[in-house]
Amino acid sequence: MGYVKTAMLLALLTALFGAAGLLLGGQTGLIIALLIAGGMNVFAWWSSDKMVLRMHNAVEVDDRTAPDLVPLVWDLADRAGLPRPKVYIIQTDQPNAFATGRSPSNAAVAATTGLLQRLTREEIAGVMAHELAHIKHRDTLIMTVTATLAGAIGMLANFAFFFRGGRDNQLGIIGVIATVILAPLAAGLVQMAISRGREYEADRIGAGIVGKPLWLASALQKIAGFAARIDNDSAERHPATAHMFIINPLHAHARDRLFATHPSTENRIARLREMAGQMPQQRGPWS
């Protein structure tokens, strides 16, 4: 997805936040909502990695506390020509991973304990290469800002329902209820538009980094199968961050369908297999 299109979608998300404020609180609500949106964007710029990592209770590790994972990530980062990111582990049985940070020099990757226990070393390498591709393509800031704004829209809608809108609200209770339902839905659709193209591109770049597209294809197939059966409690508590994971971590609640921000796993695997068929045979760095 091009930067212009992504910027337009982020602008749309900000406009949606402002529109919700306008509908619920008139001109005053619009001004307050836009000020909040601007402040949240600045906050996300400087604190996106810390915020998301705290949401998921991620713990930073190094080459002593995680001697298998951290050197693997470092090797991949070196191959990709990237600064070595911080590495975190999330205690959950669901295999999954994400990357965050405002730039390659301030980036972090996080893997769940389920990923480390249920996937082979080659498959983990494919997943970590995918996350480094997000960092290389500078997706991490955009994805975190999107999560922040989408989450804020949901909070604004719930706040409006609790207080029935401000005294400048001209919509009445029916309008408030409509805003509560439609605003998070629209935010989820914008998240979907931003995320889907970036996942395909990260698959392509990540497969190039690791040199073995089928490693990532195998990992995606396994993760999707486990994620459909195993809860990720922290992701369920913070559904607006779901698009940051390599595979959608949500499945336990009906609302999760609103955050189906990932492209079809089958389509992703098919593209990776096609890519593998077009690449010259090469050895991975740990073959």
Q: Which DSSP state fits 4? A: H
C-alpha closest to that of 218 among 283, 90, 130: 130
Query: Tokens 């405002």 appear where?
Result: 102
Q: Are 53 and 189 in contact (CB under 8 A)?
A: no
Measured distance CA(173)–CA(46) in Å, rounded = 37
Picking from 14, 98, 20, the residue whose alpha carbon sits closest to that of residue 55 is: 98
The catalytic site residues sit at 131
Give dist(CA 155, CA 180) in Å, integer.
Answer: 9
Q: Is 97 helix (H, G, I), strand (E, B) or coil?
A: strand
